[in-house]
Structure 1
Amino acid sequence: MKAITLDSSQDSKLLLTDVQSRALLPGEVRVQIKAAALNHRDEWCRKGLYPNLKDGVVLGSDGAGIVAEIGEGVDYDWLQKEVIINPALNWGANQKVQSEAFEILGMPRNGTLAESVIVPLDRLHEKPAHLSWEEAGALPLAGLTAFRALTFQGDLQAGENLLVTGFGGGVAQFAVQFGLALGARVSTSSSSPEKLERANALGVDFTFNYMDHNWISKAFEETNGFDLIVDGAVGDTLNHLIEVAKPGGKIVFYGATLGNPSKLIARKIFWNQLKIMGTTMGSDQDFINMLSLVCEKRIVPIIDQVFKFDEAEEAFDRMRDGKQTGKIVLVP
């Protein structure tokens, strides 16, 4: 089968090649991929910034498709079923945190950027009927991450002020959409006027260009501060978020693309009784609850652009350069 693999000998670090598939183990299924999507995790693998990297592994965590083959012990009713894949493996029984055995589809085990992928049956859920293949394939990893950040960690309530930073990326996109669906007063930030216009079209209350040195004062004028802030950048921008958080507010971060902060306004954290917490991916229950919200509110992921597998380098470069608004999707 054709697949996009990590290959450090290539200039692009990517190779579209034929990969030998294997026989199914008991409890496994083979899913014929109809659409897959990129996450920053895939680009970090390409850059060599992810642990346990190995050439020849098929990249990709997001995917949706049709069950083409079932292993021993799997009910025949699953054959030919349209499914979406939960890429979080071995979360464990503790809703608070993943187990030591936790891993994510796409490294170190083969992922979804292939004509087919083998996964345990318990990773499958029926594809939301209102979504196209491309939309369903775009949902899993970023949707799960955003949902847990808002609900389990952030405990977002209807009517609260929510700030989602960095609109345009996958997690931020879903955090905005889910926040609106949950009844929050949603604001978002970006350095791109075009991306902020897209956010306005979704129905957010306020948008802020974080390149504007007055954005913090503007945020206070418009909102009087935020009950919950969801961020994927951290770095020294964490201190800006501390400034715009309401007393008793929460800051949840799911990534640190800007690295660690060089300083921290500790006094404001304890005096305002702020909660700062990390989050990553989500439990199996989070995934079920996320799908329930998507189906109930008929939420549709924003698709930035769809590429063929043989255009993978262009797709990865678009993510690397931060040009996307929404999810970048690849199809076989």
Structure 2
Amino acid sequence: MKAVVLSGSNQLAVADAAAPEVAEGGVVVALRTAALNHRDVWIKLGQYAGIKYPSILGSDGAGVVVEAGAAVDRGWIGREVVINPSLEWGANERAQGAGFNILGLPREGTLAERVAVPAAQLARKPEALTWEESAALPLGGLTAWRAVFSRAKLKKGERILITGIGGGVAVFALQFAVAAGAEAWVTSSSPEKIARAVLLGAKGGFDYSKEGWAKEAATAAGAFDVIIDSAGGPGFSSLVDLAAPGGRIAFFGATRGDPGTLPMRKIFWRQLSLLGSTMGSPRDWTEMVTFVGKHRIKPVVSEVFPLARATEAFELMERGGQFGKIVMRISD
């Protein structure tokens, strides 16, 4: 089969790869579409734990089940499905267990014509979504759901700030918050991305690259009950300043590194909660997929590339040019 194969640090190419074999309790999915995540870029650049070569990248995928292993309901064969990339979460709903892993490393991923996964990872493809939208949903939607609802416990009528709008998870967080009846605001260094967020239901946004943006946000919106962040870095202290008393700051990444010294007095005096979040549990997955169907949420697809142009898709993500998800069309 054809697949996007990483043969070394920054050595990515579409190449021939061995087709996966079905395992007991598993299925093989013939993929129609897949999607990129920043995780794929970090692996490509050699900036991720446990990297192995060669590897087939990709955590998001949608397609048709073509094989089913022993002990798997044969009714899955021929079904259109999306794949939950969060594997072996464990029994503790509060945090993933020691065996937790994500599709696309160490297990071979979805940027290929076929992928083998446990049958428990499957969900029916939502009928209202296109193949491209379906592939855009899994990792970003699951990560946003856990951060916004399972961890920060956003409620209707609360005010939420979502940083770095344009990335897939941030866009899902915005869509979920608006659907839940929250007052949503965003940040970005791009006025165009802020304008697009407003079209999705954000009340407004702020350019975090400008001096004094946090004061502008406090004046325009007031304090925030919930803040969702994936950057960290020196700007994290501004988020603490913007949090309302009793506010919750949930974060699922640190693309700008650690924030350095935290303003401890502000945090304890205002009784703020700092909430780490990673991917999501099987319960998070089920709740997210149900919510998307109930509220008719359409994942935002930024660009669609054929598999043969995978390197161009990675280049777009590396320069942060997307708004929403970058999708790969594997087959028609």
Which category describes the TM-score, using the shorter chain as reference length? over 0.9
Give the structure 1 partner of residue 109 of structure 2.
Answer: 111
Give the structure 1 partner of residue 4 of structure 2.
Answer: 4
SS for the counterpart of 2:116 is strand
Alignment of 1:108-257 (within 5 A): 108-257=106-255
Give distance in 1, aligned partners of 2:4 and 2:256: 28
Give the structure 2 partner of residue 287 of structure 1.
Answer: 285
Q: Can you list the C-alpha shifts for 1:48-98, whole angstroms capped at 9, x where unaligned? A: 011111112110000000111111111121111010000010001111000
Alignment of 1:89-108 (within 5 A): 89-108=87-106
- AA matched with 1:78: W
- Across the two proteins, how many residue pairs are aligned to each other? 330
- AA matched with 1:307: F
Instruction: Indicate the percent of aligned positions where both proteins have the same amino acid.
Output: 48
Structure 2: segments with no counterpart, 5+ residues: none
Superposition misfits of 4+ residues, deviation over 6 angstroms: none
Give, in angstroms, the shift of residue 22 of structure 1.
4.0
Give the structure 2 partner of residue 78 of structure 1.
Answer: 76
SS for the counterpart of 1:7 is strand
Structure 1: segments with no counterpart, 5+ residues: none
Give distance in 1, aligned partners of 2:201 and 2:149: 20
Q: Can you list the C-alpha shifts for 1:102-161, whole angstroms capped at 9, x where unaligned? A: 000001110000001000000000011100000000110011000000111001000000
Give distance in 2, aligned partners of 1:223 and 1:53: 43
Alignment of 1:59-70 (within 5 A): 59-70=57-68
- AA matched with 1:276: L
Give distance in 1, aligned partners of 2:14 and 2:224: 45
Give distance in 1, aligned partners of 2:208 and 2:13: 37
Give, in angstroms, the shift of residue 258 of structure 1.
0.3
- AA matched with 1:96: R
* Contact 2:160–2:227 (CA under 8 A) maintained in structure 1: yes
- AA matched with 1:60: G
The normalised TM-score by structure 2 is 0.98
Give distance in 1, aligned partners of 2:67 and 2:23: 11
Give distance in 2, aligned partners of 1:217 and 1:265: 17
Q: Can you list the C-alpha shifts for 1:183-240, whole angstroms capped at 9, x where unaligned? A: 1000001000110110011111121111222321221222220000000000111100
Give the structure 2 partner of residue 42 of structure 1.
Answer: 40
Task: Answer with 19-28 or 293-302: which moved more.
Answer: 19-28
Q: Can you list the C-alpha shifts for 1:231-256, whole angstroms capped at 9, x where unaligned? A: 00001111000010001101010000
Give the structure 2 partner of residue 318 of structure 1.
Answer: 316
- AA matched with 1:93: A
* Contact 1:236–1:263 (CA under 8 A) maintained in structure 2: no
* Contact 1:190–1:209 (CA under 8 A) maintained in structure 2: yes
